[in-house]
Structure 1
Amino acid sequence: MKKVTSAIVLFFFTCSLQAQVKKTENIVVVTLDGMRWQEVFTGIDSALVANHHFTKDSADVVAAFGAANDTARRKKLFPFLWTEVVAKGQLYGNKKRGGNMQVANPYKFSYPGYNEIFTGYPDTAVNSNDKIANKNHNVLEFINGKKGYTGKVAAFATWDCFPYILNKWRSGIYVNSGLDTIRLQAPALQLINDMQFITARPIDVRLDAYTYFAAREYLKAYKPKVLYVAFDETDDFAHSGMYDQYLKSAHAEDAMLADLWHTLQSTSEYAGKTTMIVLCDHGRGDAVKAEWISHGKEIVGAEDIWMAVIGPDTRALGEITHSGVVYQKQVAATIAALLGFEFKPAGHETGAPVTGMLP
């Protein structure tokens, strides 16, 4: 009897301890489309800055983001990542220091990448950027089906393909993308809706700033437990060969990350119980400098990506170096595990959670 009693006590003590350890109750995921790991970890590329075909005003770029070494340059370009996240979280993907992160899909472009992020596996049938409703179930809809999370999962995206990638018609999650009318009652959201239609658009859809502020104001008004924000300008400006604009958008998105994190930490529903994951869908070329504008199956290096994470359950290890390869397909299971769930879609072998990000 004493042994049985002791076992019961130990069981409940262990459960109690585990409950105390896991603090994450909310997840925020942010993606920077086609943002290269090279700039994230080493700052501006001097060869691309010096090339007037890609950088119209090199002096302006150097004044804003130039510095004597990689460490200083990356901090100028991404101050939030290289102050708060490096001090309190983790960054993966610096190939120069053995911190490899890669896509597992063979295509190395957007729809296959986002499918891999959220379904947990590369699907060779997902091989275009066409607006086709994704047949694969994703981790966001999986969480939306859990008690306490239904109706508390939302996505805001600049690219208008996301309703199809996340299959909003089947998944039931709220997806606002492209130039979707924001049909929500909060006054700030109504203002953002008006502004996105009136302003000039240097890219095909709305600016990332409108996507961000819509997501932020939705967060304040509706308190989702899982929020996804998908930026797109970095990829659009890169394909256009506009390195200076690519850098400026990256810098602005870092400021949005900082603002979002500080908003979370100043809101009682999120402070101290929210994990934020930041990553990209694919890399870009670098072996041939002119290929920085490109990605895809034939582009060497487009498989190399990066990720940053900060939250109450993630140890403050800073830049992860000399590790094995972390894969994009591991992100979905990691998102679920941070909330205490196991995500394993039937009929598919998904990537395992990134254990270094878990308690």
Structure 2
Amino acid sequence: MMAQGGRLIVMAMVGCAAGIFLLGGLYPASSYVTENVFLIVIDGVRNTEAFDDTTHTNIPHLWNDLRPLGTIYSNFYNTGTTITTGAHLAMLSGVRSGLPHCIARGDDPLAFECYRKELGIPQEQIWLFDNNPDGFIGMDYSTHPAYGEEYASSSYHAYPRSDMHVARALAQAMDQYHPSLVLVNLFEVDRMGHQENWEGYLEAIRRADAIVYRIWKKIQADTTFNPAFRDTTYRDKTTLIVTTDHGRRDDMHGGFKNHSMRDRGCRDLMFLAVGPDIKADTVIETRGDQIDIGSTIAELLGFSLPLAQGRVLDEMLIVPPGKDESNGEVESRAVSSGWHPGPNRSLMDEVRVTDTDAMSRDPS
């Protein structure tokens, strides 16, 4: 299923019905309340203009309305490549990607594919939305021989249209298909940064903040916010994760126009999660990593990421009955012990973020 800039169109799917019976028994169904996960990536927002700004002027909804409902990580990092393609592949696969920008088809299975294959989820239940010019065309499935196009997500590529257009397309898909796993990339912040338009960059952050809040209100079917938000499919059973793929260079490394370096400005990420299994009004100082996002999504929805390097962000989870927080069971589904680096993978397993362009493999 793919659409570009217009109506959402259903295309033929292969093997979905069979997968429900043949592939659903590896792991028990998730014991969490969460039935849906929405991952929203505000592309290229530097944390100094987001959570690290004590005024929070650019993110009033994220900070004042959503933060009290959920958990933020105050030490959350991209320890791989600080570019759009590699960062999104890291989030979706749980593996740090060394792929250069715009070579989007990675070789590690993505959450989309694993969710579909393991639990027999039909294609229209999984969606990727973006308005990025070149970083997402191949991000709906991997080249891994056990996965691939048969288990692709649906996708909607809206470049050169606005973040608001992407949000409208998402709303249409929510009403029409009720997807249970969604990735949304909002590109305008990164675009304004690359244009070195400071005021445009800040305004794009504020627009993205409002869009995320609107999406949450639709998820919660808040008719006081919008009378059209009547569909209760997602209410109180959806986890929303809001983050960024990379930051931007700090002033010591060239300023906000670009990214792709190893300085703190590029690596330091905002991270917020809200949902029925997420602790409310919580700030966690334990270090989190971008590759932990895929593992956490897999944990919540009850499938595995077989090559994931990341861990489950269990500090933010309300552990359901039957799961022992102390014995590591929370991490068992999502993390494989058999991972070994392939030709395209970064080996930065224990990178310490520094204030310079230097890196250390010594854990912080």
TM over 0.5: yes
Q: How far off is 1:300 after superposition?
A: 4.8
1:175 aligns with 2:139: no
Count of residue pairs brought into register by the alignment: 274
- Of 282, 288, 295 in structure 1, the residue corresponding to residue 246 of structure 2 is 282
Aligned to 1:332: 294
Aligned to 2:272: 308
Q: How far off is 1:176 after superposition?
A: 1.1
Aligned equivalents of 1:130 and 1:227: distance in 2?
A: 21
Q: How far off is 1:38 after superposition?
A: 1.0
Aligned equivalents of 1:278 and 1:162: distance in 2?
A: 18
User: Is the contact between residue 89 and residue 311 of structure 1 (CA under 8 Å) also seen in structure 2?
Assistant: yes
Aligned to 2:59: 78
Mapping for residues 237-256 of structure 1, pairs under 5 Å: 237-256=192-211
Structure 1: which amino acid aligns with 2:67? V
User: Is the contact between residue 314 and residue 356 of structure 1 (CA under 8 Å) also seen in structure 2?
Assistant: no
Q: How far off is 1:289 after superposition?
A: 7.4
Mapping for residues 1-359 of structure 1, pairs under 5 Å: 22-43=32-53, 70=54, 73-74=55-56, 76-92=57-73, 99-105=74-80, 107-124=81-98, 126=99, 128-147=100-119, 149-151=121-123, 152-159=125-132, 160-167=134-141, 170=149, 171-179=151-159, 205-266=160-221, 267-288=231-252, 290-297=254-261, 299-320=263-284, 323-345=285-307, 349-359=308-318
User: Is the contact between residue 85 and residue 104 of structure 2 (CA under 8 Å) also seen in structure 1?
Assistant: no
Aligned equivalents of 1:308 and 1:109: distance in 2?
A: 20
Aligned equivalents of 2:155 and 2:29: distance in 1?
A: 32
Aligned equivalents of 2:114 and 2:304: distance in 1?
A: 10
Q: How far off is 1:294 after superposition?
A: 1.7
Aligned equivalents of 2:47 and 2:264: distance in 1?
A: 14
Q: How far off is 1:335 after superposition?
A: 0.5
Aligned equivalents of 1:256 and 1:139: distance in 2?
A: 24
Bigger relative contact order, structure 1 or 2, given CA contacts below 8 A and separation 6+? 1
Which stretches in structure 2 are left out of the alignment for 5+ residues? Answer: 1-27, 143-147, 222-230, 319-364
Q: How far off is 1:298 after superposition?
A: 5.3
Highest Rg: 1 or 2? 1
CA pair 150-31 structure 1, distance change in 2 beyond 3 A = same
CA pair 161-285 structure 1, distance change in 2 beyond 3 A = closer
TM score, norm. by length of structure 1: 0.71
Structure 2: which amino acid aligns with 1:357? M
Q: How far off is 1:110 after superposition?
A: 1.2
Q: How far off is 1:30 after superposition?
A: 0.4
What secondary structure, in the 3-state scheme, does the structure 2 residue paired with 1:122 have?
Answer: coil
Aligned equivalents of 2:97 and 2:212: distance in 1?
A: 30
My pick for the range that moved more, 19-28 or 309-318, is 19-28
Aligned equivalents of 2:157 and 2:30: distance in 1?
A: 37
TM score, norm. by length of structure 2: 0.70
Structure 1: which amino acid aligns with 2:78? V
Which stretches in structure 1 are left out of the alignment for 5+ residues? Answer: 1-17, 44-69, 93-98, 180-204
Q: How far off is 1:165 after superposition?
A: 2.6
Aligned equivalents of 2:38 and 2:309: distance in 1?
A: 21
Structure 1: which amino acid aligns with 2:201? Y
C-alpha offsets along residues 319-353 of structure 1, whole Å, 9 cap, x if unaligned? 33xx23210011000001111233223xxx51111
User: Is the contact between residue 84 and residue 245 of structure 2 (CA under 8 Å) also seen in structure 1?
Assistant: yes
RMSD: 2.2
What secondary structure, in the 3-state scheme, does the structure 2 residue paired with 1:133 have?
Answer: coil
Structure 2: which amino acid aligns with 1:91? I
Aligned to 1:65: none
